Homo-oligomer: A and B are copies of this chain.
């Protein structure tokens, strides 16, 4: 039992950016990073959304090549593919994670009008 993950050269930049260009998924990645890349499981993210919806977002992150999902008994362990991503896109994840960590999500109020 193991889930499909893209390998390094199958990871494409705009996919990665699109995957991270969503508040929920960015929050997931941010928490994973804050957790020092120690794998986490689904229920630790329940505050972000419903189980079903998280499942969807986890799949997106996995398919984009951002996270690794390992099956462990009845639960799944999710971690960042940090080293690999850094090889593929040097500096990218670090820059994102760094920012996402300090900025607690600036309230996205309309800036025009």
Contacts and interface: CB of A to CB of B under 8 A. Distances in A.
Interface of A: 4, 6-7, 9-10, 12-23, 26, 88-92, 94-96, 98-100, 103, 105-106, 108, 111-112
Contact of A99 (B4, B92, B103): B92
Oligomer copy total: 2
Contacts of A99: 13, 88-90, 92
Nearest to A106: B12
Contacts of A91: 91, 94-95, 98
Contact of A26 (B9, B13, B90, B106): B13
Most buried by B among A17, A18, A89, A100: A17
